[in-house]
Amino acid sequence: MTEMAQAEAAALLAALRLQLDWGADEALEAAPIDRTQPRLAPPTLPEAPAGSGSQSRRLATAPGGGLRRAGGPPAAAETGATPLQQQAAALAAEADSLPALREAMARFDGSPLRETATNLVFADGVAESGLMFIGEAPGADEDRLGRPFVGVSGQLLDRMLASIGLSRERNFYITNILPFRPPGNRTPTDAEILLFLPFLLRHIALARPRHLVLLGGVAAKGLLRSKEGITRLRGRWHQVAVPEEAARPALATLHPAYLLRTPGAKRDAWSDLLLLRQRLAEEGG
Ligand code: URA
């Protein structure tokens, strides 16, 4: 190698090290993408056949990503929903089964998170169990394997739930607010949460859990649309509104990743689990 090539290689290595020091842990594109610019053609909304659509075809977006009955999709200005939120809500409403919903989410190209993630992380466990846990977003392990809560925090969660007799092979179902890993495990933004909310609400409507458990502040604030922090929301049953369905009782509790960082909080998490166990026992699971 010439002296100049050696100097260039050393400079490249130094630049790479600097990226690592800054916390970059993903290889992305060679050229930067300006994510502030719209990248997509105007969304094509699924058409309902005139006068003969199924019930789900007759649902359209409402502010906040919910659904409403309508003759056709209202203008974005009318609902306050962005075109991409409307597209997400229309795709979600079309899905009439969990596999169809998974497929609709894989097709939805309205979020840059899809570009940086390796896999769509849909759900794990027993969909018909009546008990659905909702976390924040996939981490590196989940992104690699395409399954939620398989890393260290998932393993802690599994151990905690086993202590009250619950296992994902038999009696619970688990998913996340976001189906794609945010780069570097950053916290999901409110815009990302709102964009994927119609898919999550449809997920709940299709899985029909009797009880929800919201793991951590992002899931709790996202689904309860609350500004309160998780320390105020946890340890209580709330109601999650599900479009076209009965509201679901939802227990907010601490996220297992937080418990790994703050072992002293495990006492609160344990008291939340006892509340869950008591309610499941009273209501027959
Ligand atoms: N944390 C989450 O919120 N979800 C996962 O799937 C993994 C870690």
What are the boundaries of each domain within the chain?
A: 64-282
Q: What residue's CA is closest to ligand 1, atom 3?
A: 136
Ligand 1 binding pocket mutation candidate from 136, 180, 181, 254 (most atoms within 8 A of CB): 136
pLDDT at 284: 74
Q: If you measure from the C-alpha of residue 136 to the centroid of ligand 1, how many angstroms do you get, rounded to a whole number? A: 6
Q: What percent of the chain has a predicted confidence (pLDDT) above 70?
A: 74
Q: If you measure from the C-alpha of residue 52 to the centroid of ligand 1, how many angstroms do you get, rounded to a whole number? A: 40
pLDDT at 12: 65
CB neighbour burial string for 75-106, b if at least 16 within 10 angstroms, e if fewer: eeeebebbbbbbbbbbbbbbbeebeebbebbe
Atom of ligand 1 at shortest range from CA of 121? 6
Q: If you measure from the C-alpha of residue 63 to the centroid of ligand 1, how many angstroms do you get, rounded to a whole number? A: 27
Banded pLDDT at 45 (limits 50, 70, 90) = very low
Asked: is 64-282 a CATH 3.40.470.10 domain? The reply is yes
Write down the pTM of the prediction. Answer: 0.76
Ligand 1: residues with CB < 6 A are: 135-139, 142, 148-149, 151, 153-154, 176, 257
From the list 250, 240, 248, 88, the residue with the least C-alpha distance to 179 is 88
Tokens representing residue 66 in the block: 């919910």
Q: If you measure from the C-alpha of residue 213 to the centroid of ligand 1, how many angstroms do you get, rounded to a whole number? A: 13
